[in-house]
Structure 1
Amino acid sequence: MEWFDNFWSIYSNLVLTLGTNALLALSIYLTLSCGMLAMANAAFMGIGAYTASILTMTFELPFPVALLGGMAAPMAVAFIIGKPTLRLSGVYLAMATLGFGEVVRVVILNTESWTGGALGLNGIPQLTEWWHIALAVALALAVLYRLRRSKVGRAFEAIKEDETAAGLMGIDVNNTKMLAFVLGALLAGLAGALNAHLTFFIGPNEYGFDRGVEILTMTILGGIGSLAGPVAGAVILTLLPEALRSFNDFRTVVNGAILVLIVLFLPKGIWDPSLLRSWLGNRQTARRGS
């Protein structure tokens, strides 16, 4: 099909970016579903991207091994920093994890022999195929769906509603929060590793504050009431710059405005199961009345 070949040659990177952004949105969904406003996902993405890129470029390891490294490194870092930071909550946790992101950026800038410093890494082999991203998103959704309906998922929900009450009910709050934090780091690292081997180039500025806000906006926009919410938010915020190319310089402003509007008017996101059920119920009532 010639039309599809033309479409894919032009928009293939955009389509595949939808998948990596969906992974990022799901990564912060995990921590939000456990009641934690952790803003380290952009940093974990950078750790995964640089680790996987160094493994393929410097050590010439196979791509699957590089992906595993890109997931393992942020998981290990998340476990280390999670011990002190997860004792915090709310805005204090957000500030601590944002500070960690700045530490990661400075480390990248000062390890030029490995990371290329401010110039970044160029010439990363394009090893990511469409099915890699499709499989990663499908597996992430399947695992999170099972997790959401498991005892662990119910523990996440209990901690989000009331951490003290969850502890009194026998839930190991600290270890449960650590699990959510580490799994979120795994997904962010996987997204970074896949994205690095898709775009040829990575730099330290790609994983800073702006990217962290973008990831959070995706999830808040879609809503954390279901797994479809973060994916929908990722799709919208990935396609929005393409629809508003003339406003590309104000992308961060647009993301901030969207975040404020969603919090004010749709606090549970656009994919709110209760809102959908109410809408469907109203339609059925209207049909019966007619």
Structure 2
Amino acid sequence: MDSFDAFWAVYSNLVLTVGVNALLALSIWLTLSCGMLAMANAAFMGIGAYTSALLTMNLGAPFPVALAGGIAAPILVALLIGGPTLRLSGVYLAMATLGFGEVIRVLILNADSLTGGALGLNGIPQLTQWWHVLGAVVLVLLLLWRLRRSRIGRAFEAIKEDEVAASLMGIAVGAHKMLAFALGAGIAGLAGALNAHLTFFIGPSEYNFDRGVDILAMAILGGTGGLTGPVLGALIITLLPELLRSFKDFRTLLNGAILVAIVIFLPKGLWDPQRMRQWLRRRAG
């Protein structure tokens, strides 16, 4: 027990960060499952983080209320921008959502009296416990698992495969895209709210383009064929820099080389159910 206590004292933040990153990876997995390359998740995370932090710091709101605000605010923003944005597709949607993320970052920088500007918000109450993060990950996984097996999930898959064919089959493409976009925003906002009350400090640089790329990399690296992939990708992306810490100046180079090698040799990600089934058949035969 003493060894576990010593481990938790040193690595608790890292373990909880894995959970937060898993939520972020699942948030972008949801939009990818509907055929949308939307890169606004870092911005939605920032909206959730600042909303929840301001609720607790300025209004003294209870933690559950702050979490609810951190989820609701990005969902509302997603519904507002989703109408014109989701008419785009492919790289154009990615560019539009990246631009939205930059707008949010600039707004945070310029709203000094509210957000602290470039200095960020310091002294956020550390209210996030390990069971908050674990419970959030489990609930989101259950929600997405149920959604994937429902009529809505099958509609998402049809839209991803062929949007025109899905529309001809009577699927409301626009409504389903909006649902995926808004739910993904809410999950990213939840991750931001939990992270804000874990690290006690947030700043605009935490929700920039690099963070958005990291979130996408988690989902792509782990694999988008199932819910296990994004969680696995989040685990690797979070732990890899720590595992390579002993390499010092070569850590970033090795980190990038490992990720590139995985993408080249495993283009569908580490967790590919079809590849696993084929391997099991060969073993059984």
TM-score range, shorter chain: over 0.9
Deviation per CA, 1:148-203: give whole Å up to 9, x if none: 00000000000000000000000000000000000000000000000000001000
Give the SS at the match of 2:122: coil
Matched, 1:172 2:161: no
Aligned amino acid, residue 143 of structure 2:
V
Corresponding residue for 1:150?
Answer: 150
Measure, in 1, the Cα distance between the counterparts of 2:105 and 2:252. Answer: 19
Q: Aligned pair in 2 of structure 1 residues 255, 74: CA closer, same or farther (>3 Å)? A: farther
Give the SS at the match of 1:282: helix
Q: Aligned pair in 2 of structure 1 residues 238, 171: CA closer, same or farther (>3 Å)? A: same
Measure, in 1, the Cα distance between the counterparts of 2:248 and 2:100. Answer: 28
Measure, in 2, the Cα distance between the counterparts of 1:66 and 1:9. Answer: 26
Q: CA deviation at 1:247?
A: 6.3
Alignment root-mean-square deviation, CA? 1.6
Q: Aligned pair in 2 of structure 1 residues 186, 241: CA closer, same or farther (>3 Å)? A: same
Corresponding residue for 2:242?
Answer: 242
Corresponding residue for 1:288?
Answer: none
Matched, 1:182 2:182: yes
Is 1:241–1:247's contact at 8 Å kept on the other side of the alignment? no
Q: CA deviation at 1:274?
A: 0.7
Task: Extract unaligned runs of 5+ from structure 2.
Answer: none
Q: CA deviation at 1:283?
A: 1.5
Q: Return 239-248 or 147-156, whichever deviates more.
A: 239-248
Task: Extract unaligned runs of 5+ from structure 1.
Answer: 286-290
Corresponding residue for 2:94?
Answer: 94
Corresponding residue for 1:220?
Answer: 220
Aligned amino acid, residue 26 of structure 1:
L
Is 1:214–1:255's contact at 8 Å kept on the other side of the alignment? no
Q: CA deviation at 1:81?
A: 0.7
Q: Return 32-41 or 260-269, whichever deviates more.
A: 260-269
Measure, in 1, the Cα distance between the counterparts of 2:49 and 2:115. Answer: 10
Measure, in 1, the Cα distance between the counterparts of 2:241 and 2:105. Answer: 25
Corresponding residue for 2:115?
Answer: 115
Is 2:241–2:252's contact at 8 Å kept on the other side of the alignment? no
Matched, 1:51 2:47: no
Q: Aligned pair in 2 of structure 1 residues 96, 29: CA closer, same or farther (>3 Å)? A: same
Is 1:46–1:207's contact at 8 Å kept on the other side of the alignment? yes
Is 2:29–2:230's contact at 8 Å kept on the other side of the alignment? yes
Matched, 1:204 2:194: no
Aligned amino acid, residue 185 of structure 2:
A
Is 1:24–1:191's contact at 8 Å kept on the other side of the alignment? yes
Q: How many pairs were matched up?
A: 285
Is 1:229–1:271's contact at 8 Å kept on the other side of the alignment? yes
Matched, 1:14 2:14: yes
Q: CA deviation at 1:268?
A: 1.5
Identity within the alignment, %: 74
Q: Aligned pair in 2 of structure 1 residues 228, 282: CA closer, same or farther (>3 Å)? A: same
Measure, in 2, the Cα distance between the counterparts of 1:38 and 1:248. Answer: 34
Q: Normalising to structure 1: TM-score of the pair?
A: 0.95
Q: CA deviation at 1:282?
A: 1.4
Matched, 1:193 2:190: no
Matched, 1:265 2:265: yes
Q: Normalising to structure 2: TM-score of the pair?
A: 0.96
Measure, in 2, the Cα distance between the counterparts of 1:100 and 1:150. Answer: 31
Corresponding residue for 2:124?
Answer: 124
